[in-house]
Amino acid sequence: MSSIGRRTLQHIADSLSPRDWAILRFLSTQKFASTTQLCRMHFTTHATSGAATRACLRVLDRLLERRLVSRLDRRIGGIRHGSAGFIWHLDVAGERLTRPRGAPRRHVGDPTTAFLDHHLQVTDTVVTLNELSRHTALDLAAVHVETDAWRTFLTSHGTTAVLKPDLYAHLSTPEFDDHWYLEIDRGTESTPVLIAKCRLYAAYKATGRAQAEHGVFPRVLWIVPTQRRVQRLEQAIYGDPTLPNRLFTVITPDQLAATVDPGTDIETPESRKEES
């Protein structure tokens, strides 16, 4: 495969629309996104989800031809889900255009199923928060993904620790201002591992650094795959006397909107009526 020279790359950059740039920056941040997630995020003015999907695929195919994006061989839901199940990531040109100056090149590699499943659920959470911001009075003032949300600190024992939330989100309305650390659990870790991470949040809270940064210590929102896992983690948190249990909320993905904005009742692109 031939390389892309600077002049060609600049020509490609000059031809991109604002939406093209938004898609590239989104993939740069999230690493992976499905066709459906990109439709929900960037193709929001179409009358039906079918029209949005067709428009999204036309744009993605154009970006694919220019080596700005690529897609994995595997699909969400397999072949029967068709092009809507494609999983997209940046290709060489897109990576170069979005790479911060002086930063090393980012390699996609061949992600494991567990790694990909986790990243796609993180992406879905970001998309849902953006949908809430578009369709309700909730303002998504800030969202930081993974490394941008991580914080290094000294514990009370003088050891260095790193808090690694999957997301940090600042949400507000005229009535309230909320800060959240979000943990996306896919059922692959044992309950003791999750409790160890809860204790790390408690240790970080004790430093006062987050309160100085945000004004309050963000609440920790665990998003787990099943109601049974919700119950297990809640029982473990409440059963640990070292944890401030009011700091933690445990939900399933479908409860996200009602948790961050209890008054919400939105219609997202996924709930629009399909064209007959």
Enter the tokens of residue 172: 């507000």
Residues of the chain whose pLDDT is less than 50?
79-80, 268-276
CATH of domain 6-109: 1.10.10.10
pLDDT of residue 105: 85
pLDDT of residue 83: 73
Give CA–CA dist 73/271, Å, rounded: 28
pLDDT of residue 182: 98
pLDDT of residue 271: 44
Q: What number of other Cβ atoms are within 10 A of residue 102's Cβ?
A: 5
pLDDT of residue 82: 63
pLDDT of residue 72: 92
Question: Could you tell me which CATH class the domain 116-260 is placed in?
Answer: alpha beta
Enter the tokens of residue 258: 């009602």
Alpha carbon dihedral 20, 22, 25, 30, in 10-degree steps, equals -110
Pinpoint the residues of the chain covered by CATH 3.40.1350: 116-260
pLDDT of residue 197: 97
pLDDT of residue 96: 93
Question: Quick one: which of 24, 27, 2 has its CA closest to 13?
Answer: 24
> Can you give the pTM of this predicted structure?
0.89
pLDDT of residue 270: 45
Give CA–CA dist 107/95, Å, rounded: 9
Give CA–CA dist 183/188, Å, rounded: 13
Pinpoint the residues of the chain covered by CATH 1.10.10.10: 6-109
- Report DSSP state, residue 253: G
pLDDT of residue 110: 83
- Report DSSP state, residue 63: H
